[in-house]
């Protein structure tokens, strides 16, 4: 089954053709990064206008690279949320119009479910054993999810304020590193000392799988304000050490909560997804903790992890940040798992009442 996926939830205009949820035939992303660098962040109106310009050429390119025509496509999928409404409208309306005119089924995809399914791209459909715990960390969302089977998601925890990627972006701005912040902070951290500053890590109470990064962000802000500058500039050494200490604080919290959830649910695999899953230090810290079999609890005590899970992150960097292959992949699994029972022609994806029902929450 070949699905044309469309993604326009934020600032990437993307289209892809994916066969049977895993085989990526094309994955086209028109990045708006240079445009939003001018403002240091995404201005929704600017993003939406760019989607209008890029949507059709990107779809044409995705079909061309996959060497298929619209008549060869079995279904059309689009991100229906969460995301910027003015950006989502462009992708969902285009998908609806294509589905209606070509008489193809239309599948709405939750953006976070898409990020999760980035892990299956270019792997076998049954490559990742269940139960799985997935840490999704992006600019707009940060969650811990339990999956016992395909397309069955249970929300264990989520951010109470900022998402990890958003914290990276804000710290990058405080350190004068530019947009988007994640890769810039990671680059600066490379030469830095991660033990120089002991930033607060919000573990919350013992059972909590929720995240909070606002305290950490404020601590960086206070440190930067107190730091001596020369001609208004922070020293290279300070920037590197601050970036490295901040990055490690985020990675410690994310890895400890992920691995505690793995232990609690006796999971066979631990997955990373979302833009922050591109972070090398995060992958390294999680990989180390799994191979040595420990994580830290809310009081900083070392705990045994129990059964060691298989560790996965998307097989290609382009699958970490926003892309349409993950949307087409997720659509396939929801479709074939019977979750998507109402694939009809031309329905309004934005008015879909099922959007908020993708997760059940476990307390």
Could you say whether residue 255 binds ligand KG4 (CB under 6 A)? no
Could you say whether residue 162 binds Zn ion (CB under 5 A)? no
* Piece in contact with ligand KG4 (CB under 6 A), picked from 34-42, 201-209, 272-280, 283-291: 272-280
Interacting residues of 231 by C-beta distance below 8 A, sequence separation 6+? none
Q: Which is nearer to ligand KG4, 7 or 256 (CB)?
A: 7
Could you say whether residue 169 binds ligand KG4 (CB under 6 A)? yes
Neighbour tally for 85: CB within 10 Å: 12
Could you say whether residue 240 binds Zn ion (CB under 5 A)? no
Could you say whether residue 139 binds ligand KG4 (CB under 6 A)? yes
Q: Is 168 left (phi over 0), alpha (psi -120 to 50) or beta?
A: alpha
Contacting Zn ion within 25-84 (CB under 5 A): none
* Piece in contact with ligand KG4 (CB under 6 A), picked from 180-188, 203-211, 231-239, 300-308: 180-188
Q: What angle do CA 57, 61, 63 make, to 5 degrees?
A: 120
C-beta separation of 76 from 105 below 8 A: yes
Contacting Zn ion within 297-356 (CB under 5 A): 322
Structure tokens at 301: 């005590």
CA distance 122 to 93: 28
* Piece in contact with ligand KG4 (CB under 6 A), picked from 138-146, 194-202, 285-293, 351-359: 138-146
32, 87, 110, 138: which one binds ligand KG4 (CB under 6 A): 138
C-beta separation of 97 from 339 below 8 A: no
322, 330, 331, 343: which one binds ligand KG4 (CB under 6 A): 322
Tally helices (H) and strands (E) across the chain. Answer: 10, 13
CA distance 258 to 263: 9
CA distance 76 to 92: 10
Interacting residues of 222 by C-beta distance below 8 A, sequence separation 6+? none
Largest CA distance in the chain: 64
How many angstroms separate the first and last alpha carbons of the chain? Answer: 37
168 binds, among Zn ion, ligand KG4, none (CB under 5 to 8 A by kind): ligand KG4
276, 290, 324, 325: which one binds ligand KG4 (CB under 6 A): 276
Q: Which is nearer to ligand KG4, 73 or 167 (CB)?
A: 167
Could you say whether residue 287 binds ligand KG4 (CB under 6 A)? no
165 binds, among ligand KG4, Zn ion, none (CB under 5 to 8 A by kind): ligand KG4
Q: Is 102 left (phi over 0), alpha (psi -120 to 50) or beta?
A: alpha
Q: Which is nearer to ligand KG4, 62 or 186 (CB)?
A: 186
* Least spacing, CB of residue 350 vs ligand KG4, in Å: 18
- From residue 158, how far is each of 136, 239, 244, 360 by CA, in Å? 9, 29, 24, 13
Q: Which is nearer to Zn ion, 252 or 322 (CB)?
A: 322
Q: Is 103 left (phi over 0), alpha (psi -120 to 50) or beta?
A: left
181, 194, 314, 329: which one binds ligand KG4 (CB under 6 A): 181
Contacting ligand KG4 within 186-205 (CB under 6 A): 186
Helices (H), the chain: 33-37, 44-65, 85-102, 111-117, 164-174, 181-189, 214-226, 236-264, 280-292, 325-336
Could you say whether residue 140 binds ligand KG4 (CB under 6 A)? yes
* Least spacing, CB of residue 84 vs Zn ion, in Å: 11
279 binds, among ligand KG4, Zn ion, none (CB under 5 to 8 A by kind): ligand KG4
Residues that bind ligand KG4 (CB under 6 A): 10, 138-140, 165-166, 168-169, 180-183, 186, 274-276, 278-279, 321-322
């Amino acid at each position: 089954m070949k699905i044309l996926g469309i993604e326009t939830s934020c600032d990437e205009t993307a289209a892809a053709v994916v066969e049977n949820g895993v085989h990526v035939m094309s994955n086209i992303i028109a990045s708006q990064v240079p445009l939003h660098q001018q403002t240091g962040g995404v201005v929704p109106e600017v993003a939406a206008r760019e989607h209008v310009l890029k949507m059709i050429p990107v779809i044409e390119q995705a079909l061309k690279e996959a060497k298929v025509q619209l008549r060869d496509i079995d279904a059309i999928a689009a991100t229906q949320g969460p995301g910027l409404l003015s950006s989502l409208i462009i992708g969902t309306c285009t998908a609806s119009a294509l589905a209606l005119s070509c008489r193809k089924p239309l599948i709405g995809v939750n953006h976070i479910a898409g990020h999760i399914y980035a892990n299956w791209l270019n792997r076998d459909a049954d490559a990742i054993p269940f139960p799985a715990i997935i840490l999704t960390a992006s600019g707009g969302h940060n969650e811990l999810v339990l999956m016992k089977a395909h397309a069955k998601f249970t929300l264990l925890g989520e951010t109470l304020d900022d998402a990890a990627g958003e914290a990276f972006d804000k710290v990058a701005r405080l350190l004068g590193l530019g947009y988007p912040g994640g890769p810039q902070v990671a680059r600066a951290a490379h030469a830095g000392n991660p033990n120089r500053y002991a930033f607060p890590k919000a573990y919350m109470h013992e059972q909590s799988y929720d995240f909070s990064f606002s305290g950490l962000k404020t601590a960086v802000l206070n440190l930067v304000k107190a730091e001596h500058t020369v001609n208004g500039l922070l020293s290279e050494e300070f920037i590197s050490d601050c970036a490295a200490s901040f990055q490690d604080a985020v990675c410690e919290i994310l890895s400890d909560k992920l691995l505690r959830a793995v232990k609690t649910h006796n999971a066979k695999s631990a997955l990373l997804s979302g833009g922050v899953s591109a972070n090398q230090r995060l992958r390294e810290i999680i990989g180390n903790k799994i191979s040595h079999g420990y994580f830290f609890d809310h009081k900083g005590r070392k705990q045994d992890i129990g059964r060691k899970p298989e560790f996965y992150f998307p097989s290609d960097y382009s699958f970490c940040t926003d892309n349409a292959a993950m949307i087409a992949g997720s659509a396939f699994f929801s479709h074939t798992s019977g979750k998507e029972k109402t694939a009809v022609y031309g329905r309004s994806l934005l008015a879909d009442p099922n959007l908020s029902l993708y997760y059940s929450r476990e307390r």
